[in-house]
Structure 1
Amino acid sequence: MTDERTALIFPGMAPTKTGDVSRFLMINRKARERLATAEDVLGRRLLGPAREDGDVYDEAAQVVFMLTCLSLAEWAEDALGVKPEICAGPSFGQKALTSYTGVLSFEETVRLTAELSRCEVSYFESDYSDVVTHCFVRTPEEGFAEVLAELKDEFHDVSGVIDEGFYLLSVREKDLERVKARVRAIGGYSMHTMRPPVHSTYFGGLRRRAEEEVLSGFTLRDPELPVVADQDGALLDSAAGMRRMLLDTFDRPIDWPSMVATLREQGVTSLCFSGPDNLFHRVDSTVANFEVRTVTPAMALKPRSRA
């Protein structure tokens, strides 16, 4: 007998090695079928020689990342015996989560992902086009508060708390180098910059547009597994809760420590991250509280593991 309770985590979108992803989608039968279905839904090819490694977040890349994470979850169930009892999907991970838990069909999730991507592109062409979100790590809390105070007359917003000293901060791009220099001066470190920006209280207009122009066209169902919301760690079991979470992602910050707290309260002892993740599985609050397993295209491509 074992008391292990596993949560499946779909990670936020990160730069990926597209070679591994493409090979996985071509070699794994179920993934290949999902790719073909997605291309039928959108009426276009999603893979091609023009795709390169790096920070590519366009519509096609988003759909490919979503279906890769979803297919890896299926592979983990078949090859590794992963049996999650609860799920979460911080940031972009919400998309694969929505399909995995049956809130939308896979075909509907493909459409949702593509339509939300177009909605965001349109919004940021006219609103907050000069704003970016940057990751800072190992940042002293008191010093970070001082940096924010210095920005009181400039646009700024904390778009996420990932761990102690680990923040997502949205600022105007013209101010970014100055902010990075200040964070370095107090002992913090910079990671990467996200364009367009994410999860800001200033983006209420994007939330309204997404609700009116995109989500209004979908009928969500209750999730088949409990879901932990990435904004506050709330435990969701209804379509209404899932709808709120999908909208909250635009104008509420991520709070991974609250998600960790809820997972612990639910008796979770093991996390399985399904998809390329450069962030959540590595932070101290994750590794200190759970056994952690990451499932990647490279892992699924090993000959002994191919489906």
Structure 2
Amino acid sequence: MSGPLGAGAGTAVVFPGMGPSTFDDLGRFLVLDRYARARVAQADEALGESLLAGFRAERDGLGVLSQVAFLVCSLALADRAEAELDLRPDVAAGPCFGQRALTAYTGALDPAAAIRLTVELARCEEEYFAAEPEELVTQCFVRVPDEPFAEAVAAYVDSGEWVEVSGRLDRDAYLVSLRAGLLDEMVETVRRLEGYTMQTLRPAVHARRFGPLRRRAEAVLSRYPLGEPALPLIADQDGRLVRTAEELRTMLLDTFDRALDWPATVAALHGHGVRTVYVTGPDLMFHRLDCTTSSFRVVPVTHKTVAKPGALRERSERGQQSPAGARANS
């Protein structure tokens, strides 16, 4: 890891990864928030159709327009943090889907291009997984003891099953990819280890198996001339520093077939002098993880924290203290 970015380094903006996002959850914010309305108008123009109408019609929370809506919310919340909290980040990160917001926020792509890229990549993934003979999913587990969990995963692999750790979220929190038919058994295994089951992502993400998907995504990305990001970025796969357009392109492609490592990202941010992190997006997890809250003063700028007048400013002034058991309830 290189040294601190400079004497002024100290604040990071983090665009969170995406969980299932529905109109019931995000619609009110998108309709009423003035920053969101401006971003929705950008999206309507880029899409050539109404984002809100299409988003309302989607039901699974992970469809093409659900992804665009999540992107729009994240950018709008960063706009609000800049305008109302004087956010001026020295460095940025975007675990998983948060990378899409990074491209627009840092000027590597204009917002309309970032929206169109999100649509194309979503359709690319849909086509790829439609051709898979079995449904593949990624399951989030928390509070699972590390060594017994690693042994359980190894036992499945030794038996011939495809089970792959797709992400390390914290000391005892993981994303695990597997076929859907094995999911109930895996959940029971984790329960016997006294771990907890969180959300299930469909389709699966961040696995070495998806090298062919990476190559399809590379063909899509080749149609979008990325510029150099205006801020240094921290890659979520290993905490490396990303400064050039080519390094950004590699990071965007790595998300398809390389595992997420959030503790490594946190360590890199801290090592570069970051002490305050603004998490800007509809996040229920990253701002609450122990490794995040123990390393930084955390300001969650979410569609929920901005809902009450004055609440966002108050959180910014006092920071975020993670209550015991927050991850099990996120």
If the length of structure 1 is used for normalisation, what is the TM-score?
Answer: 0.93
Number of equivalences = 304
CA shift, 1:53, in A, is 9.9
In the alignment, which residue of structure 2 is the partner of 1:264?
A: 270
Instruction: Give the Cα separation in 2 of the matches to 1:49 and 1:244.
Output: 31
CA shift, 1:187, in A, is 1.8
Matches within 5 A, 1:1-307: 5-16=10-21, 18-19=23-24, 21-48=26-53, 51=56, 55-127=60-132, 129-152=134-157, 153-212=160-219, 214-303=220-309
CA contact under 8 A between 2:167 and 2:260: conserved in structure 1? yes
Instruction: Give the Cα separation in 1 of the matches to 2:186 and 2:36.
Output: 42
RMSD, matched Cα: 2.1
CA shift, 1:4, in A, is 7.7
Instruction: Give the Cα separation in 1 of the matches to 2:234 and 2:178.
Output: 28
Instruction: Give the Cα separation in 2 of the matches to 1:224 and 1:4.
Output: 14
Counterpart of 1:202, as a letter, is R
State the secondary structure of the residue aligned to 2:104.
Answer: helix
Instruction: Give the Cα separation in 2 of the matches to 1:264 and 1:239.
Output: 24
CA shift, 1:185, in A, is 0.9
CA contact under 8 A between 2:13 and 2:279: conserved in structure 1? yes
Counterpart of 2:298, as a letter, is V
Instruction: Give the Cα separation in 1 of the matches to 2:143 and 2:89.
Output: 31
CA contact under 8 A between 1:20 and 1:298: conserved in structure 2? no
State the secondary structure of the residue aligned to 2:286.
Answer: coil
Sort the Cα spacing of 1:177 and 1:305 in 2 relative to 1 into closer, same or farther, 3 A: closer
Sort the Cα spacing of 1:26 and 1:17 in 2 relative to 1 into closer, same or farther, 3 A: same
Instruction: Give the Cα separation in 2 of the matches to 1:267 and 1:112.
Output: 32
Sort the Cα spacing of 1:17 and 1:293 in 2 relative to 1 into closer, same or farther, 3 A: farther
Q: Percent identity?
A: 46
CA shift, 1:77, in A, is 0.6
Instruction: Give the Cα separation in 2 of the matches to 1:80 and 1:145.
Output: 42
For structure 1, list consecutive stretches of 5 or more residues without a partner in the other structure: none
If the length of structure 2 is used for normalisation, what is the TM-score?
Answer: 0.87
Instruction: Give the Cα separation in 1 of the matches to 2:114 and 2:269.
Output: 25
Sort the Cα spacing of 1:209 and 1:231 in 2 relative to 1 into closer, same or farther, 3 A: same
